Each structure stands twice: as C-alpha cells, then as structure tokens.
Chain A
C-alpha cells in the first residue's frame, strides 16, 4: 500500500481504524478527532468496525447522498450514533474490552461538555446534544436527560440492533431521516438538480468534507491526500541557443556572483572543461563552488547552528585554490548589468527565504527525522561492518603466527595467534549529489531534510560524507558543495534550493572528477555516490547536432538519459559505486532504471527513506565486496 504523508495524529487514528477493521489495505473515508485535534480512540474503532462488519463503501455513499442538505452535519451525528449502537453489539462478544472503551468515551463526552463555554453550548445543535447525552448517560449509568416524547422516540430509534446487515441498516437510516426530519436523501438530491454522478460527485464530496467540523465530537472526511510527489515543473525550452563572447563573459560573471568563486584556478578549470565538456556537452561550461549562503545567517534553532560554528579550520579555509580570497559576496568588481545585479539580489533573498523554509520543515518533522537517523545509522553500522575487512589482532587462540612463535618459548607470551579483531578498516566515503533544478521546486524542503537525514546517518555510522548540489544555468553546470567531508554537521544542506536546469550527464562527470581528486590522495578509499534525482534531464543548452543535421536537438528525451547512463557506467568503472534515490513522477521511473540499473530505490516520503537506503546499500556494497 502506498503510504500517504499524514500527520502523526492522523496516522494514529488510521492505525486504530485499521486495527479494528483487521485490514490495512484500505483508505478509511472517515477519521474521528476531538476538537483539540486528538484522535477519538473509540469512534475510530467504530469506523474500523464499519469496515469489518458492514460494507463501508455503501455507508459512505449513503452519507454522501445527504451531504448537500443544510442539516447534513446533524444527520451525520445521528447516523454515527446508530452505527455505534449496531457495531458495538456486533463486536462486544469478540472484544470485551470494547465495553471499557465505550465507557471511557462516554466519560470524556461529559468531561468535554463541562468545559464548554456558554457561547460554545449555544453553537451546538441541542437536539443532537440531547441524543448524545442520552446515549452516554445510559452507558455510564447516569440519570437520563429530560426528553420530549419525540426525542425519546428518536433515542429508541437510534438503538440499532446487531443483526442488521448493510442494506437493511441503510434502509432503516433512510426511514429514520424521513420519519423524524422529513428528509428523503434521494428525493432532495434529485430535486436540487444536484444528482451528481461519478468523478464530479466524488470531487464535490471531497471538497465539501475536507473541512474540520466544529463540534465537540468530530467525524472528519479525509481529503484527497495528494501524495504525488511528482508535481514536476515542466521547464520550457528556449528557442535556439546562440552564445557570443560577450554572453560568455557576462554568464561567467553572473555565475560567479551567484555561486561564489570557483574552487579551481582558471587554468585547471579550463583543463577540466576540455576533458569533460565533450560530445553532447561540447557547448557547456562547468563551475565548482562552495555554498556559502548559510555563513551569514544567525542560527534559527539550537538544532541547526550556523554552518560556521561546525566547520573545522580546514573546512573554513575551503579547498578554494583561487588566489583571490576577498569577500565572496562582493561582486562590485565583476562587470554585470544593473538588471543582472538586481536579479542576483532578488535571487539571494529567495535563497535565504528557502533556507528558512527548509529549516522550518526540518523542525516540524524533527522527531521523525531524528528517529530515522537513529534507526538508519544503527542499521548502516551493521550492514557496513559486514563488508569491511577486520584487522587481525594478536590473541591466545586462532591461527598460529609463526613469526611470533619464538615469544612463546622465550617470553612466555601466549598471544602468538592471530584472530579477526573488532577493529575494521573503514575506508568508505559517501557523496550525496542533489538535483537542484527547478523541477524540484515543489520538493525543496523534503529534499533538504532527506539529504540531512542521510548525511547524519552515514556520519554516525562512521562514514565521511560530502553533499553537493547541481544545476545548469546560462550554459554552466554548477556543482555547489553544501557540506564537505571535514564539516562535522550536515546543516549546510539547508542552503539547498531549486533553480535552473539539470544536465545530469555532465553533472555526474563533474562529480566524478571531484571524487577522483580524493581518490588520487587516498588510494584505498572506497567511494559511494548517491544521487537524489527525479531522473528527468533537461537543459537549455541543446545537444550537439548529429552529423548531417543543421539544427541541434533540444536537451530532453532519450539522448540525455542515455548520456547519463554512460556517465554512471564510467563512474562505476572508475570504482565509484553509484546509486540513486528516485523521488519523482512515475513517467520518469523508466529513466531511473535506464540510468542506474537496479541500483536505485523509489521513495515517496521521508518515512520510506530509512528502509529503502538499507536495501540499497546492501545491494551496492554486495556488488563490490572488498577483496
């Protein structure tokens, strides 16, 4: 079952319903809450029992049938009292605890009524209140309220017995509404000309019931629950792409002012471009930068300190090989038009705003995130340690170390045997590469929190982590480092924002280059690259024209996917274990498979991240067991 992203209270309510129903494979059309937002335990059990004992779809359809009536809220309360009576009797034989739950609910009813203000009492429907009071008084053994003869008849009529099946029960409910309220659901529906059918009726119903009802006892219809994370923003291709030398200079200045100085000196950057910007990427440029957007921010939460506080000296110094270390935000020396400067200023404000949103999202889900980190890091430790080589250590038993046997005779040292020690040779590193193109704009907060969760989990498991983001703007594919290996904490990732295009193949090649810099220094280090992507490469810089073609093709469709696949293949050949976390439209799922093969997982929510990553890591590490 696909899990939608519910609040924790909703998920609690759902679990009670599913448990009572004995079925987790349905989406309950109702959830019960008190007006303070807490789930109503007993009535969620009743909703679950509706599924267990009756046809919940027919019950829902009946409730929908009078939803247009002005008194529909009141009718709902009567209907649920009737259902409660019937379902309680059906279930009590097999669930004796239901009696205590019913009493507890009844006591809660009276406790809430005592706390209501006079105004709140006036807002209530007194006929409904009387019936509820009567029902719960009988349950708790309290004195029954004073009722008129009609009210008494309604009270008796709502005591639906257990032997009713769905059709008879609905028939009785219909008769009840007709007799006591002169309301015929089918007749009034048609008369009003609002006998909607099919999809429109469902949508209308959802619209109407996606509100919280303000009564002491809430039955709330669930909304549409749009859990589709795709929300892919289609990037419109520019018509044609022509670049002049002047454009080049301005684009370069623009990129530098947006993202900061290049990590590589000019000459080295040129060399890198000459190697990597080939084939379909021949018209492209590269930029490698350190994300400094968080440096000027004061901490907004004790959990998320400013990046500066957590950087080691080496991280602060940055692997910036540029000789010019002036304030990275001082772009007055760069020749940019006023419009460009204005654009950049606005963009920086938006980036700051996005950072705040990322942090707010993190705070809102911090319990879930911290729990995921705790669980994931513990499981990662187990998985990873099973693939690491354990260093041998001297012992009093094991395999005889003949080189040391003399110590036995001469020194009486019995530790002349070797056995696998506890210490493992941890030579794993992880790079998390985030697609930061505009197609991700509806998932920015989620992606930042996902990356944070992953990074912290791996760090806690003893793996060093860096986080990079990539996007393409003005012909430049820019890799920004949000967290370096030396950074102790991962909150730099909250500087993540989505903008621009995504030229996946070139980004992967550029990332591979950054990793190879490390591999040159640390030969034994094994590297894992984890790409968070929607597997939908798209760029304004077109593909190189094919032989015989006059016009270049747009960078979209199958060719960029194939280019990305080749880039991943090259990475894997160079020893970088590459895998992906796919979070996007089902339409692009095939792309994810083409590019990454089996080494990817699909997730739709943060809750699925931990479990998916463990499976993925086992698969990735198993493919390349250390010798």
Chain B
C-alpha cells in the first residue's frame, strides 16, 4: 500500500508539473550519505569503559542514508529516503521502583545493541533566488522508523537477595514517526556529482514504545526491566534525531 502511495504521489507531480526543470533536464539525483549527531547518551566510540562507566569526549553517532531526489518544479524537490542506524545504549546497572530493584550483573562495556530502519518522504523547498536542485533549501520530512534492541536478559539479579530475576524478553521493538526540518545546501560538480549538506532538526513520536507500563504497586521484574530498557532506547532514538549534521554525496543519472 505504501509503495502504491509513493508511486501515486510521484505520478501526480509528474503530471501536474509537466515542465520539470531538473539540472540540464535531468530530474533525478541518487545519493548516499550520513547524518551525524553528537552522542549525548553513552556509549560512544570515543569513550572508554573504566569499570564504572564510559568516560571521554562525546563523539558522533551516524545514520546511513540512501536518498532519491526528484525535481518536481523550479522550487521543489521530492525526496524518498531510507536510513539505517546502529548504536548502543548503556545499561543503567540498577533497575527498579520504590518496592525493589534489580541489578545488571553482565559486562557494562557491552551495551544494548540498538538498530533502527527507517523510510521517509520529504519536500525540499529551495530558497528565493535559487532553482532546484542547486542552492539553499529547507527540507521538510516525515518518516517512520522501526527500532529494535537486543539486551542480555539473563544477567539480572534482585538487589535484595541476589537471586536471578528475569529481564524481560531481551528483545526491544518500537515504531516511531519523525518530523524533521533540514536547512541545507545542495551543489553540483562537473554536471554529475552532487553534494548535499545541512543541519537537520527533528522530533520523534512513538506509535509503539514496547512498554507494558508495569504496575508500580507490585514487583514484576521482567516488565520493569524491559520497560526501563525500552525507555532508555526510546530516549536514545529521540536524542539522536534532535540535531544532525547531514551530508550526502550522489550523482545525477537521468
């Protein structure tokens, strides 16, 4: 259904803007690149684990992007993107509520493995004085991302008596919707090569947070731990999307 919708939108614009400008008559740009965000939440590749936690300067987290741009008029580009993010989320060590808590006894240096696959549709609106696809633009995007996290659910013990407790499913899954604004610039070299760079600001809302909202009046360790890890993962994703420096390099095929 999504695929059909995308094709319909593309066709609609192809028909309604019969005089597509493009660059020297070429309407498509295929590009690939990365978006980088500062890793405000640990871990980060630049940090080292010293037994108690990660220390060092924050580095950048990166999302891989593949984009197809299509010039629909003198001022607008339609963009379809897919992206892939792989990162880690640090274990908190202690998970619990007022009634009790669980401790993570596994290696803290191996974080929760978080991956996210996303797709988005966007419109690039070129600023006054520029003609698509060259020059300054504002890009408004809307995307959906499917996140999953793997954590070690067998290494949790009760903080009261040290007995092992279940750590949930060990598999976190969430679906988020992202709305973003990119302020960027696109340039073309040798009539073929494109370089597109800019700053992206985005907010993510979760359709599915993968949380059970466990009852605070009882101690349900698996749910409590899973929810806490899900919250950490969601927060990580949210932070990752907030501010990004995006750079794409591509070419103009036709």
Chain B binds chain A: no
B residues at A contact (CB < 8 Å): none
